[in-house]
Amino acid sequence: MQAAVQRPKRLTGTITPPGDKSISHRAAIFNAIADGEARIDNYGPGADCQSTLRVLRALGTQIDGKGSSFTVCGGILQEPADILNTGNSGTTTRLMAGVLAGQSFLSVMTGDRSIRSRPMGRIVEPLRLMGAEVDGRDGGTLAPLTFRGGSLHGIEYRLPVASAQLKSALLLAGLFADGETVLAQPALSRDHTELMFRAMGAKVTEDGLSVSVKRARLHAVDVSVPADISSAAYWLVAAVCHPDAEVTIVGVGTNPTRTGILDALQAMGADVSVINERTEGGEQVADLVARSSQLHATEIAGDLIPRLVDEVPILALAACFAKGTTVIHDAAELRVKESDRLQATSKELSRMGASVEELDDGLRITGGRALTGAACRSYADHRIAMTLGIAGLLASGETTIAAAETASISYPSFWEELAGLGDGATS
């Protein structure tokens, strides 16, 4: 599919993004290994979240219902009859590695071409230290990965990067391990796992940057998934960069470990209001209102990066409309996502006339250059495709995005909702 986008005279509307990907994955996986039955509402509709359900069903988990609401009957997982396919989902792959490492049966897990090229050594190494029998291509650094069961024991381990996926995989393995698993983080990352573990009866202890867990059986708990702030980010940037816009995004999860996008936009002078704040299912939720703004450059680096790592491409677009030079550092992790997101962002925004310089660990963006529509590539990366869609709303002329359907990995209705904000998109 090729999407064609033009800048509308005005952007206005109300949007409810899909359920949060991170919370959706965890709600399904944790309830699958828990005692009891739980209902999950507003589950993320994207292909990644569906990959998690497919894997769990292959492991014998009973999931009743269709669409965004269903029940999960938890209990003991069963040896799969076939290879487990996680599709394009890094979250499914890494979190399920922590689960499968603690099972007594043989399992093999693989994914699409992107997953098979992404680094798995940072997961495999600590799991092996815990006693797991894990193997894979290139010494266990690449999928497919094989898990042969084993008796796990807790370890003290310093995470090499602030990664919620790595942290969560090891905390999951810790549920099946003798003793205590203690993880030292270089910086805080999203804490959805810790929050949900506590709600499900596990003892999770946090002390500064340290987090630990002991062997436990989880108890099933109902989850109503808030809207994904990473998906909301596209509409926030569209509104603050467009000269005549006001967009309301409803029911967005505002967990402090995920709101780096709001902090970065605030530092740039964006007019974004956080209203109707409340707590739903243990997670903070609010509505967001974004309006046309005069932006100025800022620096995005350090401890802020783990809180907005998925939003770096769309923040780079915002920086194109900011006065001065914005610098993004400490984001080298983006080179091993579905694409090399630093390279893809630099190439495609430059193609549209932006001044974007690729750095080893980030980007340097000098704002003030008007964007012009161009023929762009998505690199089969949903976040690049959606960033370019928003760029098309802000550029003169027409922007086309090849392989635009990849947005469905996280946001199946993205192009329809983009068209609904103005007369800007066709497909």
- CA–CA dist 352, 315 (Å, integer): 16
Residue 191 bears catalytic tag: no
List 84's β-bridge partners, or say none. 109
Give me the phi and psi of 168, to 5 degrees please. Answer: -65, -40
The radius of gyration of the chain's CA atoms, rounded to the nearest angstrom, is 21
Please enumerate in sequence order all residues whose Cβ is within 8 A of that of 194, keeping only pairs 6 or more positions apart, or say none: 171, 204, 206, 211
Ramachandran class of 75: left when φ > 0, alpha when ψ lies in -120 to 50, beta otherwise: left
Residue in 20, 228, 310, 330 annotated catalytic: 310
Catalytic residues: 310
